[in-house]
């Protein structure tokens, strides 16, 4: 079960631009959701999850639930836009390699066209990709490699193009039911949905997310080899490059 959240103030301290980008997508409330979860109820939610005639439904403790606009606007606080990009259906004329190279710190370096690993991404792009694959649309495995959907999402977010998040999240949930490697994503959102629909939690086992270290923050920086220099986050390799450039300027 994947349970992740972020505190936007933490990233605001370091001047990250994705805060405004996520705000433009209407994602601020969704990514900051922070509460306890009920693991057994979340498993029931997924066990009963169904898709029929364009409608996603489930049932928990006898309460029928439809993932409709009411849920997305009142619980997830997402905006229902008239004109959106349906990333889950892919986009025609999208050059994945060109897009991938535009995200690299050193785009002139040779790229492995098969793997498309994110290790060479610029700091902002690397962080947004991390939030995509762990928080917004958690994928099954291999989070270090960019899928076509990852590249599309990253590109649309950076260019302030509205994405159909309700459909994309529903699609991710349906994949999670079908493929066990998805680890049941969006646990915090699901609990809020159950709460909104009045599902009884009496006698259910609860789990505080603070107890399982789910916040995306400083630990993630270390994993990505990011270092803080005042209010700025840089890649450790770029730090060494800056030192070399300074030495050359001094000679």
State the DSSP string of 104-150: BSSTTS---TTT-BGGGB-HHHHHHHHHIIIIIS--SS-TTB--HHH
Q: Give the chain's mean pLDDT.
A: 86
Lowest mean pLDDT among 70-74, 142-146, 233-237: 142-146
pLDDT in tens, 101-131: 999 988 887 666 777 888 889 999 999 999 9
Q: C-alpha 91: how far from its chain's center? A: 19
pLDDT in tens, 145-187: 888 889 999 999 999 999 999 999 999 999 999 987 778 899 9
pLDDT mean over 60-79: 97
Q: pLDDT-derived band of residue 210, with 50, 70 and 90 as boundaries? A: low
pLDDT at residue 249 is higher than 60? no
pLDDT for res 79: 92
Q: pLDDT-derived band of residue 2, with 50, 70 and 90 as boundaries? A: low
Q: Is residue 2 part of a domain?
A: no
Q: Is residue 240 part of a domain?
A: yes
Q: Is residue 110 part of a domain?
A: yes
Beta strand pairing call for 63-66 and 232-235: unpaired
Q: Is residue 1 part of a domain?
A: no
Q: Is residue 126 part of a domain?
A: yes
Q: Is residue 77 part of a domain?
A: yes
Q: Is residue 3 part of a domain?
A: no
Q: Is residue 125 part of a domain?
A: yes
pLDDT for res 65: 98
Report helix, strand or coil for 126.
helix
pLDDT for res 248: 41
**Structural domain boundaries, residue 57:** 8-249
Domain total in the chain: 1
């Amino acid at each position: 079960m994947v349970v992740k959240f972020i505190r936007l103030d933490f990233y605001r301290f370091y001047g990250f631009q994705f805060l405004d980008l996520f705000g433009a997508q209407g994602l601020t409330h969704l990514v900051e959701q922070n509460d306890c979860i009920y693991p057994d109820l979340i498993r029931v939610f997924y066990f009963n999850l169904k898709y029929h005639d364009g409608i996603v439904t489930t049932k928990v403790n006898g309460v029928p639930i439809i993932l409709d606009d009411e849920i997305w606007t009142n619980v997830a606080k997402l905006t229902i836009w008239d004109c959106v990009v349906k990333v889950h259906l892919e986009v025609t004329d999208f050059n994945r390699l060109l897009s991938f190279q535009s995200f690299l710190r050193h785009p002139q370096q040779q790229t492995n066209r098969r793997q498309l690993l994110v290790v060479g991404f610029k700091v902002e792009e690397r962080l947004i990709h991390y939030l995509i694959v762990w928080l917004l649309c958690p994928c099954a495995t291999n989070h270090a490699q960019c899928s076509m959907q990852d590249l599309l999402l990253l590109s649309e977010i950076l260019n302030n193009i509205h994405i159909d998040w309700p459909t994309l999240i529903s699609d991710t949930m349906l994949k999670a039911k079908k493929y066990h490697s998805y680890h049941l994503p969006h646990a915090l959102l699901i609990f809020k949905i159950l709460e909104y629909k009045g599902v009884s939690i009496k006698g259910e086992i609860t789990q505080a997310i603070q107890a399982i270290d789910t916040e995306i923050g400083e630990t993630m920086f270390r994993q990505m080899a990011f270092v803080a220099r005042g209010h700025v986050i840089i890649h450790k390799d770029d730090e060494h490059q800056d030192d070399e450039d300074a030495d050359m300027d001094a000679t």
